[in-house]
Structure 1
Amino acid sequence: MKRKSKVQERPKEEEATMARTLKDWRVLLMVGLVIFSLVSIYVVPPGIQNGPTGNLQLGLDLEGGSWIQLSFQSEVIRFDTDGNPENLAANLRSALDAEVYLIEEDRLEIREPFTREELVPVFEEFGATIITYEQGVSEETADQVKLILEEKVNGIGTKDARINTLTGLNGVTQYIRLELAGVDITTAQEIVGSQGKFEIRIQASGNETEHVLYGDTITSVSPPSRYPVGSDLWGVGFTLNEEGAAAFRTAAVTYGATSNPDMHPIMMLLDDEVVYSASLNPELAAQLQGSPVRELRATTGAGDQGLEDAKTLEIHLRAGALPVDVTIAGSGTVPATLGDYFKFMCVLAGLFALVGVGGLVYYWYREPAIVLPMIGTNIAEIIILLGIAVYLQQLDLASIAGLIAVLGTGIDQLVIITDEVLHEGRVPSQTLYMKRFDRALGIIMVSALTTIIAMLPLALMDLANLKGFAIITILGVLIGVLVTRPAYGKIIMAILSRNPGEKS
């Protein structure tokens, strides 16, 4: 009777152990993230309406589309001079009839295509010598171009787009690459060259506004700067041609902006949306009473927010026109049928990888109670990774390669945990189990850290598709170490403890 009682109690103990395991915070976290990921992919609109891929952002390789690589018609010059660098930049601006900006005390950017041979005598004329000549733009200008192109892409509702600046170790960016999934090459080229309708209007009376001028009267736009110099106020300067300056003065005087600025603010609109509104400052209002003013400045505020607003306003003032001329250095298309083929092959490769590692693990352990939790944990890890990728990363062939790599390394680490906690094929006591599990987790964390360090250069550098591979790999490693490995440890402990002291 006593033996029978123990046999009857054993299933109840196993059920209680499994219930405690399912309520463990590590397991609940993994299950919660899986649900979150499935919701992000298939439930959040438009979700399942997009087909089997849901909200996953598919890249050019898998969706089909176009790519364009642009070359900047500009150069970055490092120089040496005994004079004032700012005076040199101003003199060059006048002599070359081009936009010239001082990047550092001994470096400047010329936003027109000139050869070194053409520039040497001009620099010598103003008492300066050229030390280095590099075609391209500064990182600041490259970032501005990227922002403008992103706004253009967002304006046509294209979410599956990638824009990468290709910057060298010298900090000079010579190329920028656009990948637009689902967009034909003609549309892609139009995106690069299109401009919006920029307009300045003035508050007349009540809610009525009157047209003042269009963006074609703006001859130049300066980068964001502080004014007065030394203050914390940011703004953007721009220059009007004579016709625009006369129209601006006439409107300001006619509608009372010079006599009562607060009641008649000046508004800037891009594609009929107000992007900036402010009253004339008293000094400018007084100047306009007497004569037209060509040099104007829009102040955006103080601090970091003022700087960000100034950067955005500069883009609006340019009406989507790039600050530097570009030429198409290369372009191409990926047909939609080829993208569908790549998608099919990626799914097939993933299934083969999953079946392959599952078969190898089964051959090693010959125990379904161990193999199934391993495969299930691995699948959960991939689902979580895809759910996070919805918000962070576009999936292309390189990213899919990262997913398959994560699948393989994930199983490898689960094998390390399982082999470490088993002692001569037997399940140890709970105390010894936790000690060995912690040791296995420590080994995995060190391995994960080395992988992250190895991938960081690829993730941070502008290496196009390789960046996606590195980001997916790093995310997969982090999800494994922080979520799925601890959860697997609790699950496998509950399964193995059902048969203590027996061979696994």
Structure 2
Amino acid sequence: MTNPLTGEVIFSRDVSYRRGLDLAGGLHVVLEADVPEGTEVSSDRMEAAREIIERRINALGTTEPIIQVAGNNRIVVDIPGVQNPDEVIATFGQTGLLEFIDAGTDTLVPGQEVVTDYPEPPADVPEGTKVYHTILTGADLETASVGFHPETNEPVVSFKFKDGEPTQKLREFTRNNVGRVMAIVLDKRVISAPVIRDEIPNGSGIIEGNFTLESARALEIQLRYGALPVPLKIVQVRTVGATLGEDSVQRSVLAGLIGVISVAIFMLLYYRLPGLLANLALIIYGAVSLSLFKLLPVTLTLAGIAGFILSIGMAVDANILIFERMKEELRSGKSLGAAARIGFRRAWPSIRDSNFSTLITCAILFWFGATFGASIVKGFAVTLAIGVIVSFFSAIFVTRIFLETVMGLGRVTREWWYGV
């Protein structure tokens, strides 16, 4: 979107269709719990890790990822249409454990690994290794966001601790340790090690670490959606092609086109002029639905396309109910205008009830897909619901406007043209 006066870009976003893993391919990653051999990881912790990974991936703007727990200690992640695999993996693959540690007067450099006493002091520390005390963790954060340093204009991550004990801890520590180092550590690796200049009274601050905008965004997502309850390591990464193949996609599209054209021909031959107007409304319905798929956006899988085609049937079904009612009124001797009004009025309860019952089913399917990680089911529910809502509009309003406009011209008055 641009300013018509200056030509300046006000808003910009990619509005191309998003295709799912089965249509466009994507990234396949297998994560495994990184725990000592023989340690058992509970199913609750693995499920919690799966949910956090899903939230992190969704925050990147990636839709319809497939994230499943496999076995006792593995999580399988399939993400469609990934443009930057390294960035995505860095966002969800790291544990995301943020610690603010008391480094005293030590000089710590970004990237340096350290040992801390969180969640508990390690039992087997090599001799001479210093164990640093953790003051606060990312679990104490209230919010995090990406910003820019006012002097260097480099990306930074702003944070704010929760009111109460976390803010009080930070205030007391900074008040009593002016001139000492409070290092910020992510997954036991130093991000930055600033010297405390003054007391921090309100629990707010920034993390600097020579970030790019992408790495700052990845850290923000990790902080906002929490640390993983169990450390994970990547055991397999591969880019996968479309699972259906280009030939299967083309055949599916061809089958859909044959179905739509067959329905259009039936409507034209059986209902004549109203059928022609319904076909025009169907074209508008398709254009609006596909535009919404781009704008929202909706990730199109084969199941999603099936939902869209099914909604076309709902649109045609509504028109058939209306036209059959019209024909009944015309046979009983009503005028064209009266038959159209009564036809729409009497068909309305059936159309309303059928559409609402379908939307309720879509809501149940969406809940099921969101709760149990069945993203394909969720995609089917979304495309079907959008299609039903748009078809409801096209059948009740667009077709009616077309029909009343043609009848108002007074040129087509023979009942034969209306299927009688």
Q: Corresponding residue for 2:8?
A: none
Cα displacement (A) at 1:356: 1.2
Q: Corresponding residue for 1:414?
A: 319
Counterpart residue identity of residue 28, structure 2: W
Cα displacement (A) at 1:292: 7.4
Question: What is the number of residues matched between the two proteins?
Answer: 331
Q: Corresponding residue for 1:178?
A: 78
Q: Corresponding residue for 2:393?
A: 482
1-side partners of 2:179 and 2:237: how far apart?
53
Please give the per-residue CA displacement for 1:147-192, whole angstroms capped at 9, x wherever unaligned.
43456xx4xxxx665334559xxxxx98563323266999976775
1-side partners of 2:348 and 2:279: how far apart?
18
2-side partners of 1:458 and 1:317: how far apart?
28
Counterpart residue identity of residue 156, structure 2: V
Look at both structures and tell me which one has the larger radius of gyration over its CA atoms. Answer: 1
Please give the per-residue CA displacement for 1:289-347, whole angstroms capped at 9, x wherever unaligned.
5987799999359xxxxxxxxx98582499x9855334679987643596433442233
Instruction: Answer yes or no: is the 8 Å Cα contact 1:275–1:316 preserved in 2.
Output: no
Please give the per-residue CA displacement for 1:24-63, whole angstroms capped at 9, x wherever unaligned.
xxxxxxxxxxxxxxxxxxxx9787xxxxxx7111112222
- Map 1:97-496 → 2, pairs under 5 A: 114-115=39-40, 134-137=43-46, 142-150=50-58, 154=60, 161-165=63-67, 175=75, 177-181=77-81, 193=93, 214=111, 216-217=113-114, 219=116, 242=130, 273-276=155-158, 282-288=171-177, 299=203, 315-316=222-223, 322-326=228-232, 334-335=240-241, 339-365=245-271, 367=272, 369-390=273-294, 391-423=296-328, 425=330, 428-461=335-368, 462-496=373-407
Please give the per-residue CA displacement for 1:251-308, whole angstroms capped at 9, x wherever unaligned.
xxxxxxxxxxxxxxxx9xxxx621026899552234325987799999359xxxxxxx
1-side partners of 2:31 and 2:173: how far apart?
40
Question: Which 5+ residue runs of structure 2 have no aligned equivalent?
Answer: 1-10, 101-106, 120-128, 136-148, 161-166, 186-199, 206-217
Change (3 A) 1:212 1:175: closer
Structure with greater helix share of residues: 1
2-side partners of 1:447 and 1:379: how far apart?
22
Cα displacement (A) at 1:444: 0.5
Q: Partner of 2:354: helix, strand, or coil?
A: helix
Is 1:61 the counterpart of 2:22 in the alignment? Answer: yes
Counterpart residue identity of residue 293, structure 2: A
Higher mean displacement: 323-332 or 487-496: 323-332
Instruction: Answer yes or no: is the 8 Å Cα contact 1:405–1:473 preserved in 2.
Output: yes
Q: Partner of 1:392: helix, strand, or coil?
A: coil
Normalised to the residue count of structure 1, the TM-score between the two structures is: 0.52
Instruction: Answer yes or no: is the 8 Å Cα contact 1:73–1:113 preserved in 2.
Output: no
Q: Partner of 2:158: helix, strand, or coil?
A: strand
Tell me the percent identity. 20
Counterpart residue identity of residue 178, structure 1: D
Counterpart residue identity of residue 321, structure 2: I
Q: Corresponding residue for 1:28?
A: none
Instruction: Answer yes or no: is the 8 Å Cα contact 2:277–2:403 preserved in 1.
Output: yes
Instruction: Answer yes or no: is the 8 Å Cα contact 2:18–2:297 preserved in 1.
Output: no
Q: CA RMSD in A?
A: 5.0
Question: Which 5+ residue runs of structure 1 have no aligned equivalent?
Answer: 1-43, 48-53, 75-97, 99-111, 117-132, 168-172, 201-209, 223-240, 249-266, 302-310
- Map 1:22-101 → 2, pairs under 5 A: 55-68=16-29, 70=31
Q: Corresponding residue for 1:252?
A: none
